[in-house]
Chain A
Amino acid sequence: GAVVSQHPSWVICKSGTSVKIECRSLDFQATTMFWYRQFPKQSLMLMATSNEGSKATYEQGVEKDKFLINHASLTLSTLTVTSAHPEDSSFYICSAPGGSYGYTFGSGTRLTVV
């Protein structure tokens, strides 16, 4: 079945540094990738939608200059958290249309900024 490989699974970084999260579709082409964020004990909220070859669309309230999204190929989308701060600590998960259930989620990345 369809698989979206997300890396890293977890990352700890220092405040002020940047972190890149990758989501790769392994056996299908993902022209679209959805990026969600989940704060502790809260629900998943859509941050942005990336489309291969075009600019990402950000949800209201999400800083596009802070959360850089690149969808350079049909199988890879990346989210870079720039100048990370402790309040960016969260669980980030991507999702691509495809697979038996309509959408396939990555396994998520737990980001801790210290």
Chain B
Amino acid sequence: AQKVTQAQTEISVVEKEDVTLDCVYETRDTTYYLFWYKQPPSGELVFLIRRNSFDEQNEISGRYSWNFQKSTSSFNFTITASQVVDSAVYFCALSEATWGFNKFYFGSGTKLNVKP
């Protein structure tokens, strides 16, 4: 069965600190997608990244970077030089990539508080 675990319920940092949000997943599928979403207090889900299971290259986008390691089934997210605007709940999610359209399995989310 698919499962996504975000062990960090809440993290507080001071602005300009680096912070890493952990994500560990379980799946029996060999082909799948992993996602990170940001959910500000308004509730909408802001897409951050999608990675397929065959692409283990790490990615950097501005202050954001992602480390995908299939060997440990982890897909961690790092924010460098955090800012107050980064405060939100962040969700890691897994989607199957079998035929047809597939549902998401979300982790429980990590609430990030960035203090000025």
Residues of chain A having any CB pair with chain B under 8 Å? 32, 34, 36, 42-46, 49, 91, 93, 95, 97, 101-103, 105, 107-108, 110
| A42 cross-chain contacts in B, Cβ below 8 A | 108-109
From the candidates B50, B91, B95, B101, name the one contacting A44 in the complex (CB within 8 A): B91
| A105 cross-chain contacts in B, Cβ below 8 A | 44-45, 47
Which of B103, B106, B109 has the most A CB atoms < 10 Å from its CB?
B103
From the candidates A91, A95, A108, name the one contacting B104 in the complex (CB within 8 A): A95
Q: Tell whether, in the assembled complex, residue B43 and residue A110 are in contact, meaning their CB atoms are under 8 Å apart.
A: yes
Q: Tell whether, in the assembled complex, residue A103 and residue B43 are in contact, meaning their CB atoms are under 8 Å apart.
A: no
- Please tell me the size bucket of the interface on B: 10 to 19
> A108: nearest residue on chain B (CB-CB)?
B43
| B91 cross-chain contacts in A, Cβ below 8 A | 43-44
| B109 cross-chain contacts in A, Cβ below 8 A | 42-43
Question: What is the bound-complex CA distance between A25 and B108, given in angstroms?
Answer: 27
Q: Tell whether, in the assembled complex, residue A101 and residue B107 are in contact, meaning their CB atoms are under 8 Å apart.
A: no
Digit string of B6-49 for contact with A (CB within 8 Å is 1, else 0)?
A: 00000000000000000000000000010100000001110100
| B44 cross-chain contacts in A, Cβ below 8 A | 105, 107-108
